[in-house]
Amino acid sequence: MKFQLTTSTKKIAKLQKRIRVIQGGTSASKSISILLLLVNQAQRDTSPTVTSIVSESFPHLRRGVMRDFLNIMQGHNYYKEANWDKTNSIYTFETGSQIEFFSADQSEKMRGARRDRLFINECNNVTLEAFNELEVRTKEVVFLDFNPTSEFWLFTEVVGKRDDIDLIIVTYKDNEALDAQIVASIEQRKNNRNWWRVYGEGLLGDVEGKVYKDWKIIDEIPHEARLISYGLDFGYTNDPTSIVAIYYFNGGYIFDEVCYQKGLSNKQIADIFNTQSKAIIMADSAEPKSIDELRVHGLTVLASTKGKGSVSQGIQFVQAQRISVTKSSINVIREYRNYLWETDKDGKVINVPEHEYSHSLDAIRYGMQVKMNLNKPKEYQQLPYESPSPFTEQVSILDTLSTPKPFTPNRVPLDVQQNTYEQPDYNA
């Protein structure tokens, strides 16, 4: 499939200054347009050049702009397998020009060789130090793109302090290639003033509407961390099934994405869990049949507690903890950054979270119930604990499980091919 030249592409192509800043809303064709222009330039070079494409982490890069780049190359029949160095993530064109991919957390590459062109994808997620290290080693042009969720170093330290910057704003209306269903989905959110300002209009937003704040992204799970539970939010056709492992370490909690995938049967979900370390699974109580089926497959699964105020209480408990997320947990991070409170018709934030971007975060809320103080109103009690303290160990939760009834699936599900659903990045 060939990628269409959109109004966004044409606007970006007209930029002339050294630093070209593309601010925009969701589905505005920011990164696709920049990639198309960089590929076109590499093919037209009369002498070999090097273009670096950088993002906050390699998992984010691999499932985002790197995948988009390969789709562009294959869709336009430019791609040659022999030219793609998978080990070093470098593509070499017939002109001798190269496009390389690396992450902002690879310090040796940040301070390494110079380049001709640079593209920092979602630059609001990298540091000012990283930008400075990369920009000063770039000869020709620097592209920066981002969703303007809140003010960051670009506005405080760069824009207005240099005269070599072009800045444009693009929105979904500049992307003629966008599916009509996605357009309709975006426009249904006009009443959410915070969301619409950032993702609909591409304007600088306010963090007032964010549900969670101040989570830390870490490289990996420390060896000393202790697995305490899994959170499971069921999905199938419209929503992904999300599984998140929850670890306790040094007074805080670490979330690690295990699965984020649509179309999984319960047998496939069980197969995924059977490849993981054993721990209690807290699942969405709205799916009792699915929970029973998972138990038949030998898993320790408990229904999450739901009742009046349970969502708000769960969110408050999670936000009160010191939280870290592994950098490989791409969908958890994406949802964390975009999870907002709903607003009323006057734009006032109300105490109800939006369903959009909630799947991993619902799973986390379920999984954290094993550490919550459930000594609350009667409708919000289910799991027995030795002590109401949120930091005490659970002592009798296994005793609550009844012997599962035999269950025979009515069809044989497909084998699990992968345990991560690579959802298209509609913020591109």
Q: What is the dihedral of CA 102, 422, 428, 65, to 10 degrees?
A: 20
> Residue 383 above 60 pLDDT?
no
Q: What is the mean pLDDT of residues 212-232?
A: 94
| Residues in a beta bridge with 283 | 232, 303
246 and 149 in a common domain:
no
pLDDT value at 215 more than 80? yes
Sheet holding 115-120, edge to edge: 84-85, 90-92, 98-103, 50-55, 115-120, 138-146, 19-24, 165-170
User: What confidence tier does 305 reach under pLDDT thresholds 50, 70, 90?
Assistant: confident
Question: Rounded CA gap, 327 and 104, in Å?
Answer: 12
Q: Are 235 and 349 contained in the same domain?
A: yes
Q: Give DSSP secondary structure letters for 349-416.
A: EEEEE-STT-HHHHHHHHHGGGGS---SSGGG--S--S-S-TTSPP-SGGGGPPPPPP---SS-PPPP
Among 319, 128, 335, CA closest to 233: 335
| Rg of the chain on CA atoms, in Å | 23
Averaged pLDDT, 59-70: 94
Which tokens hold the place of 85?
Answer: 């160095």
Are 271 and 175 in a shared domain? no
> CA 332, CA 315: separation in Å to the nearest integer?
15
Q: Is residue 112 part of a domain?
A: yes
124 and 77 share one domain: yes
Q: Which amino acid is at 114?
A: R
Structure tokens belonging to residue 55: 């993002």
What CATH number does residue 92 fall under? 3.40.50.300
User: Phi then psi for 15, rounded to 5 degrees?
Assistant: -65, 145
Helix-helix angle 310-319:359-367, to 10 degrees: 80
Whose CA is closest to 41, among 107, 95, 109?
Answer: 95
Confidence of residue 140 (pLDDT cuts 50, 70, 90): very high
| Judgement on whether residues 156 and 251 belong to the same structural domain of the protein | no
Tell me what pLDDT residue 414 has: 35
CA nearest to 246, candidates 268, 210, 277: 277
Residue type, 412: V
Residues in the chain: 428
The pLDDT of residue 357 is above 60: yes
Q: What is the pLDDT of residue 208?
A: 62
pLDDT of residue 2: 79
* pLDDT score at 339: 87
pLDDT category of residue 206 using cuts at 50, 70 and 90? low
What domain range is 324 assigned to?
Answer: 216-400
Mean pLDDT of the 337-357 span: 78
Q: Is residue 125 domain-shared with residue 222, that is, in the same domain?
A: no
Residue 213: per-residue pLDDT: 87
117 shares its domain with 255 = no
Average pLDDT, the chain: 85
Decide if 410 is inside a domain. Answer: no
Q: Which pLDDT band, with edges at 50, 70 and 90, does 427 fall under?
A: very low
**Which residues are CB-neighbours of 347 under 8 A, at least 6 positions away?**
193, 194
Binning pLDDT at 50, 70 and 90, where does residue 403 land? very low
pLDDT of residue 117: 98
Rounded to whole angstroms, how far apart are CA atoms 366 and 361? 9
Per-residue pLDDT at 396 exceeds 70: no
Whether residue 53 sits in one domain with residue 114? yes
| Section 311-335 average pLDDT | 92
Q: Which of 43-52, 335-344, 387-396 has the highest mean pLDDT?
A: 43-52
Residues 225 and 180 in one domain: no
Residue from 61, 127, 136, 147 nearest 337 by CA? 147
pLDDT at 382 over 70: no
Is pLDDT of 94 > 90? yes
Residues 140 and 76 reside in one and the same domain: yes
Token readout for 312 is: 């708000």
Banded model confidence at residue 149, pLDDT cuts 50, 70, 90? confident
What's the pLDDT tens digit per position in 278-303?
A: 999 999 999 999 999 999 999 999 99
Asked if 424 and 280 touch (Cβ cutoff 8 Å), the reply is no
Write down the pLDDT at residue 3.
87
Least reliable range by pLDDT among 265-279, 309-323, 376-390:
376-390
Residues 97 and 230 in one domain: no
pLDDT at 347: 65
Q: Where are the alpha helices (DSSP H) in 138-187?
A: 153, 180-187
Write down the pLDDT at residue 373. 54
The whole-number pLDDT of residue 365 equals 94
In a domain, 110, yes or no: yes
Sequence-separated (6 or more) residues with CB below 8 Å from residue 123: 131, 144, 145, 146, 154
Q: Do 197 and 205 form a contact (C-beta atoms < 8 A)?
A: yes
Q: Summarize pLDDT for 28-40 with one digit per residue, the tens.
A: 999 999 999 999 9
If one counts every other C-beta atom within 10 angstroms of the C-beta of residue 209, the result is 21
Residues 284 and 341 in one domain: yes
Q: Is the pLDDT of residue 226 over 60?
A: yes
- Does residue 33 lie in a domain region? yes
In-domain check, residue 46: yes
160, 192, 224: which is the final residue of a domain?
192
Beta pairing partners, 343? 349
Contacts of 71 (CB under 8 A, 6+ apart): 1, 3
Confidence band, pLDDT 50/70/90 cuts, at residue 408: very low
Percent of the chain with pLDDT strictly greater than 90: 68
CATH of the domain at 332: 3.30.420.280
Residue 413 has pLDDT above 50, yes or no: no
The total of structural domains in the chain comes to 2
Residue 11 CA to chain centroid, in angstroms?
27
Q: What percent of the chain has pLDDT over 70?
A: 84
Q: What whole-number distance in Å separates Cα of residue 18 and Cα of residue 312?
A: 47
Contact criterion met (CB below 8 Å) for 318 and 367:
no
Top-confidence residue, 108 or 189: 189
Residue 377 falls inside a structural domain: yes
The predicted pLDDT at position 108 comes to: 67
Q: Give domain status of residue 420, yes or no.
A: no
In a domain, 369, yes or no: yes
Name all contacts of 418-422 with Cβ < 8 Å and 24+ positions apart. Answer: 418/261, 419/258, 419/259, 419/261, 419/272, 419/275, 420/257, 420/259, 420/260, 420/261, 420/331, 421/240, 421/241, 421/259, 421/260, 421/261, 421/262, 421/331, 422/63, 422/67
- 262 token code pair: 């649509």
18 closest CA partner among 169, 203, 170, 167: 167
CA 31 to the chain's CA centroid: 16
Classified as helix, coil or strand, 270 is helix
Strand 341-343 relative to strand 349-353, pairing: antiparallel
